[in-house]
Chains A and B, each alone.
Chain A
């Protein structure tokens, strides 16, 4: 329990220090675009009413969840297929490296033509960025599964499905989870980017609209909220990581 308290204190320590630094450094600010932190926090409760949470924040998070889940499903499925099939890997590798290098914001007008301007488009934008780290890390993870383990599975005739579920996926899971963590960070950014085009609601949309209508303290409050959202999602991911890879973490810690 002591270590948990200590860890929490350490985790919150730097943010608290930065917050205090910001507070005092900006206290007397008259700059339009950098108001005092006290003004921003005062705006916070006024801006982020329950209606805004329901109409802006929740839809954004929901789209992020949908896009991220779709990316994970597609990325892992395709990654396993490509990683396990050698000719397919060699065929697709250059194309994949090309595709992942294209920044999603550049693709947004194109995506808008295919996917319209509603939730589908925003989710597609998120997928267009999130799928790559998951796909490529899955391919790498699958290709690096211990050959002796694959031989064991083959020798015991475990079969394709059981080999996939009991050997390949768990063996590749550390790399896959790494890809998923990268994708989460990208997803939060794209959630905002997708709402800068043809949006009518959303957290990113609200922040941009505040900026456009010169409601600067509200804009900053939105940015703070976005940061907290990102941090909360990262914390949630750590829980997921510990659950899925608990054996991996213990092994690294305890290995004889």
Chain B
């Protein structure tokens, strides 16, 4: 579904070149939920933007659904960290969710139904006429997720979507993502700085190094398909996997090989 081969990004700075991302190569199979973690500043967002076609790589390629990414790929949806600023305040919730659907050649009734369904899936049923700024932060992020879901993307890229949300809301939203993922079968690439979250959500966790960033480690999460905030997080297997990721990140911060 997503093939990243030797992708890298350099920036011109005073006195030379700063290599943010040196070379990353990995693949994400269709229907997988993969998390990407790494130390602060390791270029997680840069990587996501290159996969989303919002940033041109300096070298290497990303391929979505077999096609090279040289602009936002078809059938890809992105959920950003800044939920408040990604929704359009001049449109009500329903209109916000509906907007990306307008170029899909659907009838008005079909769009309306998709919007209603998406809002129901994120537990915001019936809120089409509410203004985005009348909602709490967590609810706004749900609207952004609903917007992505209604679009029925093949690939969903999420850039630290719950970083700015409180812990309890974050837990609910994590479960929402797993629920949507298992129901709709979307391929999800989930960027986060929260180690626990990456282990709880992902089937695989990709750990990045510090800049110039490369892939440090790839850890398979075999916690099974049914996960629960209480039971899963208190299982010994969870702690082991969590520790493994944590160790890799500490090593990455130290700059060890």
- Which positions in A face B, CB cutoff 8 Å? 146, 148-149, 151-152, 154-159, 162, 166-167, 170-171, 173, 247-248, 250-251, 254-256
Number of interface residues of B (CB under 8 A): 26
Provide the bound-state CA to CA distance between A149 and B90, in Å.
Answer: 12
Contact check: which of B53, B76, B78 meets A152 at CB < 8 Å?
B78
Assuming the contacts A155-B78, A247-B90, asked whether A162 and B102 have C-beta atoms less than 8 A apart, the reply is: yes
Instruction: Decide yes or no whether B183 CB sits under 8 A from chain A.
Output: no
Is B103 among interface residues, defined by CB-CB distance under 8 A? Answer: yes
A254/B78 contact (C-beta < 8 A), A148-B85, A156-B72 known: no
Smallest CB–CB gap between A92 and chain B, Å? 26
Other A-B pairs beyond A149-B85, A156-B151, A166-B99, 6, CB < 8 Å: A155-B52, A155-B53, A155-B54, A156-B72, A158-B103, A247-B131
Task: Select from chain A the residue with minimum beta-carbon distance to B74.
Answer: A157
Known: A149-B85, A155-B54, A158-B99. A170 touches B77 (CB 8 A): no
Give the residue among A156, A158, A167 with the most B Cβ atoms within 10 A: A156
A152 touches B103 (CB 8 A): no
Cβ A256 vs Cβ B133 within 8 A: yes
Which 4 pairs show the lowest CB-CB distances between chains A and B?
A156-B100, A155-B78, A170-B90, A148-B85
Contacts of B72 in A (CB 8 A): 154-157
- List chain A residues, Cβ under 8 A from B89: 247-248, 251
> What does the 1/0 interface line of B79-122 toward A look like (CB < 8 Å)?
01010011011110000000110110000000000000000000
| Residue among B74, B80, B90, B134 making CB contact with A151, cutoff 8 Å | B80
> Considering only CB atoms, which chain A residue lies closest to B92 in the complex?
A247
A157–B133 CB distance below 8 A? no
* Contact present for A155 and B90 (CB under 8 Å): no
Secondary structure type dominating chain B contacts: loop
CB contacts (< 8 Å) of B250 on chain A: these are: none
How far, in angstroms, from A156 to B77 measured CA to CA in the complex? 6
Which B residues lie within 8 Å of A149 (CB)? 85-86, 88
Query: B133 contacts A251, CB within 8 Å?
Result: yes
| CB contact under 8 A between A155 and B76, given known A170-B90, A251-B131, A251-B133 | yes
A250 to B78, CA, bound (A): 28
A164 to chain B, nearest CB (A): 13
A148 in complex: contacting residue of B86, B100, B133, B151, CB < 8 Å: B86
A148 touches B99 (CB 8 A): no
- B229 in contact (CB, < 8 A): no
**C-alpha spacing A231/B18, complex, angstroms:** 58
Confirm or deny: B136 has a beta carbon within 8 angstroms of a beta carbon on chain A: yes
